[in-house]
Amino acid sequence: MRWIDWQSPAAVLEKLIAYEAVHEIHGWDDLRRRLAPDRRCFAFFHPALPDDPLIFVEVALVEGLAGAVQPLLVQDGDDNAARNRAARADTAIFYSISNCQDGLRGIPFGNFLIKQVVEELKNELQHLARFSTLSSVPGLRRWLTKRLASTGDPQAALLARIATGAGRPDTAKSDESLKPLIMRFCAAYLTRRASTQEPADPVARFHLGNGACLEWINWLGNTAPRGIQESFGLMVNYLYDIETIESNHEAFVNDGTVMRSAEVDALLAAEHISAPNPELAENTTP
């Protein structure tokens, strides 16, 4: 594992721009911001490919639990201000992880990378108290619209304003009435037991299987067109607690238990979800 910063070889930096798969890097100024003093980037390398990462993760050092990705991507060229933010930070937010080599897909590099980065950051910045992701939910819209479209559920009419709107990505941003409905459906989607059916969402499956806890669901966490189209703009915090990673992993792998916070349970209990089939409503209690 290597820490990549602005002084790393240009060949490596060029690969970051080319391989970023979650939040596109828009040129060198954007990359420099992501490597600023209040940011970290770590990658796995192989001796046979010294300038070509196998996988890399981008981290933001912030105060509190970040709920939206756009503020993390704002360009800011003031390195002194960034150092001050890093000194005040109490949370490390993993906001992007990208596999770089198609031929190595399926090998769990990401599991090892995140856990090793947590240990590295704990040693470097002992004032950090929390390690969390800010993750997309790429399977949500597809999962939800497929199930609601085949029923007479009146809630489908509300969601259709977004679900059928490939050219109307701003609907979720302008219609707050959809927020409680979509938030509850997302909580149900992410907490289905793997013993019944694994979460269709690949990001959820990765982090829950890696021992993280489903901490919070953020409304309009990603207002980019891709975020709106894939997940109505929702983003998720998966919390990595060193003390519970192994027990969370075992619970998920052994019986499909999705460890989550009281806040997520409150979303599930806030109001009954009229479900078109039992899969939507099952296993929504602690």
Q: Is the pLDDT reported for residue 222 higher than 50? A: yes
Residues ≥6 apart with Cβ < 8 Å to 67: 134, 216, 218, 221, 235, 237
Residues ≥6 apart with Cβ < 8 Å to 60: 38, 39, 66, 72, 92, 93, 95
The reported pLDDT for the residue numbered 276 is 35
Contact 40, 61 (CB under 8 A): yes
Say what the pTM is.
0.87
Q: Is the pLDDT reported for residue 185 higher than 50? A: yes
Q: Does 231 participate in catalysis according to the annotation?
A: no
Give residue-wise pLDDT tens across range 16-60: 999 999 999 999 999 999 999 999 999 999 999 999 999 999 999
Catalytic residue, chosen from 132, 135, 136, 231, is: 135
The reported pLDDT for the residue numbered 154 is 66
Catalytic residue, chosen from 207, 247, 249, 274, is: 207
Q: Does 135 participate in catalysis according to the annotation?
A: yes
The reported pLDDT for the residue numbered 172 is 56
44 phi, psi to nearest 5 deg: -95, 135
